[in-house]
Structure 1
Amino acid sequence: MNDFQTPRIKTNKYTRRTFVQTSALAAAGVILHGCITTQSKEPLIEVLHLPKSFSHRSGELTANVSGTLSSQVTQAKYQLNNGQWLDVGRGTPRVPEPLFTIEMRAEDLRPGTNNLKIEVSTQGGEPETQDLQFEYDPEPISLPVTVEWSNADLEVQDGYWETFSDNGEWRVRPTPGFENVDRILSVTGAFPEGRRVETDLIFRSSKLEDSDLKLYGFGLLPMWGGHKDEVGVSPRRGWIYAIAWFHPYRNGGGVEFGYKDGDAAKKWVDSYRKFEPEADVRYFITAESWPELDEEGEHLHYQQRMKWWQEGEPESDEWIEVTDAEGAPLPPGEYAVALIAYDCQVDFGPVTVTTITGPEESSDI
């Protein structure tokens, strides 16, 4: 979603030295799964996000492993479960250098233990290999669930995220210094039912606050279907989503459905209400989305709505709504829940996800 119905903006290009200086993992000199780095020799590869276990994936929703590559690396490839060697994805607005991503489709994952081998090479140097393991649980997601962020084992789709404690409460955010387009963090794996998502967020800052276009945003993806593209393309270029967020470019908060297949033209439909969130203020958000069915139980379309209110105020009963049939029909199927931060710094509190079959009460809109 690196061009949400807006002109493309220039993104920051971080050097790997920036990552090494800022990354807590690098500062500790530890690569995940116990591979130790040294201060005197910069590693060719560092893995930033590899959870012990991935939850259920489906369709275009991939299980992602991410990290950084040294500027010396000329080739990077990976092998999953002794299968075909594939190129590591890097070098797009989604994955700016020195970041890399490995995107693994559900059909390529094994229930239980999976083995991942990453090999990187330099000009004239010996290849460096990392052998990693993770678990995959293909079982349906058990709801309701509340994610409180006390466990730093994150299922990151894009970017570099971290958990932290603030006045005794665990929260999650893009790691400061690594704000960019489409920083996406999975809250759940994929499931087909309607869902209600509740959380709070605090917007901190964006380098684009004083720009003319204000191309930044933050909020929820109550339906996240992953990056849609041809098999073999990485980083994948499309998207399938329902989003409930604050987007200053549109001068407000609102809901959207969006669909894009690879480099094809994007489709979307949205509904916004004028609103300007204040920095360092806690806002509570409730977002709902669900499938509408006909009398025979066949899928018609998806519906989405959102409401928000500031800490210290009564809970809002004012919803804003949109239907995907109006301009961006999403395929029926299983969707995850995720958080999104677009070129800004924002932190999120606990997230609660429950299943619903429709709106709890009639909308005021």
Structure 2
Amino acid sequence: MNNLELSDYSSYETLNFFEDARFIEHILHPDTASEVYWTEVLARYPEKTEAFEEAKHWILMLRQQPVYTPSGDSEKSWNTIQSKINRNNHLETKYYIPLRRASKWTASVAALLFIFFFLTELMNLGKQDFQSGYGQMRSIKLPDESVAILNGNSHIHYVRGWSSDQPRELWMEGEASFSVKHVAIKNRFQQADTFKVHVNGLQLTVLGTQFNVKNRRGQTEIALLSGSLRIEKQGASAFSRLMKPGDIFIYDGLQLQKGDVRRTAKATQSWTRKELDLDGYTLKEIANILEDTYGYKVTMNVPDLENKRLSGTIPSGSAEDILFVIEKIFDVSLIKNKNQLTINHKTD
């Protein structure tokens, strides 16, 4: 085997394996010759084992997913634009040309109107922003039919007109739950099939996946419910970590570490059902939720209770639901003045 002629894999990363036709053929249709070849590759390049296994995981996961069929939204959008073009041509023929014949001034008006229509369509291909207000949950259908649900006080943006030969990318702040559409065509594996979320200096790369991202107070929590997700940081202190379903990782701007074992990945999405899973949360952390998601400014005069942990699930359709539970469980006094909230011990 040592005399086996191999290609140079010294610079290969996950995506290189992911896009390598010979590698894909081996994963999908292995035979004795390919087993010998790739065993020798890993023996010669042992440092590539992690990238090898990650690419293999993605390819097999893609194979298990149904082939994506567009709903026709793109065609509908094109028909809308074509209709506008036809309408503009109709206006040009019926009104603009006679007006131009009448005077140079009306010709200028016609040109300005044409430019207006053109710029309107061009602007629709630019940046798309979505924002949720305090206490508001908002569901966004993305261009590829993936869905992002924003928790209160959250924001995402992306460039319109996602290209089929480039990764789907968006940027976010706050908290969002994602259900990512699988878009890979059968037996075609390329970087353009991935979906990337940029948050707090991290790049999250996924395929068909469900996951939750919470970015508050300089800390990012990533929870994977299904599929595959890779966390990457470029530049100084660069790292790459592959998540498996059920994993929770927390990044504080310096290092990535496993999340609290008392919390589950599914629990991180409880807010999408208008519930709050309290397992592992302290009273202080719930106060942070009231500030970050519902817009309160909280003053806590109960230092002995701040680190008390709770358990169970409570309704969180509104801040009042959470406040009611805090008041009853901790036997405290809540004083509200508009968005100001003060938590005190009860006095006799």
TM-score, normalised relative to structure 1: 0.26
Q: Answer 1 or 2: which has greater helix percent.
A: 2
**Higher Rg of the two aligned structures:** 2
TM-score, normalised relative to structure 2: 0.27
